Amino acid sequence: MTVMEQRSTRRTGRTAPPPAWQPRTDPAPLLPDAEPYRVLGTDAAAKADPELLRRLYAEVVRGRRYNAQATALTKQGRLAVYPSTTGQEAAEVAAALALEERDWLFPSYRDTLAAVARGLDPVQALTLLRGDWHTGYDPHEHRVAPLSTPLATQLPHAVGLAHAARLKGDDVVALAMVGDGGTSEGDFHEALNFAAVWQAPVVFLVQNNGYAISVPLAKQTAAPSLAHKAVGYGMPGRLVDGNDAVAMHEVLTEAVTHAREGGGPTLIEAVTYRMDAHTNADDATRYRTDDEVEAWRDHDPVLLLERVLTERGLIDEAGMQAVRDDAETMAAALRERMNADPVLDPMDLFTHVYAEQTSQLREQAEQLRAELEAEAEASEGGR
């Protein structure tokens, strides 16, 4: 007798079958398409809204210039580190533009550009990377959570915030950003599970840029795609061309609307590529070839938009130059402001640990104050 036969024999003895767990829906609608969703380079591009195309183009060009400027600032020692999103601008910008003002963005450390595109002061957005404080802005002002350095740990925050907003009766959506490496973290799993169980109005955006520092996606996951992970949680998974700003904007806006209308969370995988190294401290030539990088140049998010704008006669060379000039002005202003040394007050170290300083902190603050006074006296005397 086989094991299966034994089982079926036992089952026949029961008067009623036990209550079985039932999947809550047919999984097919949750599954992503086999190919990333694209608009640019397809017939649909002819129908894309001209205003949207022009806006996305301006934002993506600004994003490209911002990445270049921030990278240059690391070489000048003005930034301790900058994780570039060159090549990923379409995904970054779309994330910011898909949200309404009342919505919240939960960026990872790489997503400075999304925060800036959402309206954050570029200098304040770079404070963490410059090293003068951990978060340079009031998160409530633009509804941008602090850039999260630990991986995927901000995703459960997005779920909790969206859940709380819904409990209060506000139609607020949280968009949480993470990289391909971050999908291996436990917090990614817990956040998606909570969001689906609670039907929280959250959109998870994974930017699959090919590598977690040096580890390629093939060593990160055995899943058919990162978007496929959605079905296991009971939420839709969408696979999108992350370099296609129009497709990104469309899919994100759909997911945000779906969440706002009570449809629950969506997991979006944006397939893109990090053209620069992980940071200025990384040597990308050790783990990827020039050929591989070159192959992505023809699929550059700026290029894809320029092609469609030109083909449709929506922009001419002068128009493109105006956009570049505008980006250059932004970069010059950023450069100038970043070249000023930040004024730091060491006593701030004790100010924001607790609502009220403990006696232990008060003692240490006095000690530091005395050290600072002694330092000041010594430098006076040295003159």
Binding residues (CB under 8 A) for another protein: these are 133-135, 138-140, 145-146, 149-150, 153-165, 167-168, 172, 174, 186-187, 190-191, 193-194, 197, 348, 351-356, 358-360
* Residue 278 annotated among the catalytic residues of the structure: yes
- Given the complex with another protein, which of 48 and 162 has the nearer CB atom? 162
CB of 183 to another protein, least distance (A): 15
CB of 354 to another protein, least distance (A): 5
CB of 140 to another protein, least distance (A): 7
Q: Which of 228, 287, 299, 324 is catalytic?
A: 287
CB of 203 to another protein, least distance (A): 14
- Given the complex with another protein, which of 80 and 330 has the nearer CB atom? 80
Measuring CA to CA, which residue among 206, 112, 202, 193 is closest to residue 151?
206
* Residue 137 annotated among the catalytic residues of the structure: no
For 12, 148, 372, the CA distances from 17, given in Å and listed in that order, are 9, 49, 77
- Given the complex with another protein, which of 41 and 139 has the nearer CB atom? 139
* Residue 287 annotated among the catalytic residues of the structure: yes
CB of 135 to another protein, least distance (A): 5
How large is the C-alpha radius of gyration of the chain? 25
- Given the complex with another protein, which of 224 and 346 has the nearer CB atom? 346
CB of 234 to another protein, least distance (A): 12
- Given the complex with another protein, which of 133 and 296 has the nearer CB atom? 133
List the catalytic residues: 274, 278, 287
